[in-house]
Amino acid sequence: MDLLKDAMLTITEHVEEVANSLKKREINSLVKSILKAERVFVYGAGRSGLVARAFAMRLMHLGISVHAIGGIVTPSITKKDLVLLVSGSGESTSVVNTAKIAKNVGADVSLITSYPGSSVGKIADYTVTVKGRTKHKGERDFMLRQMKGEHYTLAPLGTLFEISVLVFLDSLIVELMDRLNITEDDMRVRHATIE
């Protein structure tokens, strides 16, 4: 239970750091690319894909034309579209391939990543940097390990990146609501009737 609570606070602390380290210029570019796109296509591998899809659902609630790449009724991409990718490492094979194909088509490519200098980062037109696990975190883990005499972590694998991106994207929705003058009631009307 102490471990559980400690893990939760490690995560919120990290998300707060992310909130404080976001770059205004990066956010503005992302918002502009979303608003000018004819349609937004989102993609990520594994849990980053779940986060991308959670964001796509909210974009739909805003009335923005959006598709999840790999979806059943996802159409072809054109140069008027935005492809928004989520990848902590920026190196997942399927994300690299998606970025390449999107660029070939002439679409805008945005990437949310911890590594803007990664393979996908080099292809993307716009990048938003969201910190994942850092040395600082490692040290904290280390102390805890010492205390408990075991090898473990308070946020295994991509957890910190994935949750930070979800909180960031859900907050970006609020920013978009404001710019598009959309209320929560407008969103509720578009919410899926049958889930």
Residue from 54, 103, 115, 140 binding a second copy (CB under 8 A): 54
**Cβ 119 to a second copy, closest distance in Å?**
14
Cα separation, 154 vs 141, whole angstroms: 7
Cα separation, 86 vs 111, whole angstroms: 6
Which residues between 156 and 175 bind a second copy (CB under 8 A)?
A: 156-157, 159, 162-163, 166-168, 170-175
**Active-site residue among 16, 26, 38, 162?**
162
Classify the C-alpha dihedral 121-130-138-152 as positive or negative. negative
DSSP string, 100-114: HHHHHHT-EEEEEES
Residue from 34, 37, 77, 120 binding a second copy (CB under 8 A): 77
Residue from 19, 36, 79, 142 binding a second copy (CB under 8 A): 19
Is residue 139 annotated as part of the catalytic site, yes or no?
Answer: no
Residue from 84, 112, 120, 154 binding a second copy (CB under 8 A): 154
Stretch of 108-116, 121-129, 150-158 contacting a second copy, by CB under 8 A = 150-158
Residue from 135, 147, 149, 189 binding a second copy (CB under 8 A): 189
* Beta carbons of 84 and 52 less than 8 angstroms apart: yes
Q: Could you tell me which of 184, 142, 135 has the C-alpha nearest to residue 160? A: 135
Which residues between 23 and 52 bind a second copy (CB under 8 A)?
A: 24, 27-28, 43, 45-47, 49-51
Classify the C-alpha dihedral 68-88-25-10 as positive or negative. positive
Extract the tokens encoding 64: 């923005």
Extract the tokens encoding 137: 């975190």
Q: Does 84 bind a second copy (CB under 8 A)?
A: no
Tell me which residues are annotated as active site.
Answer: 162
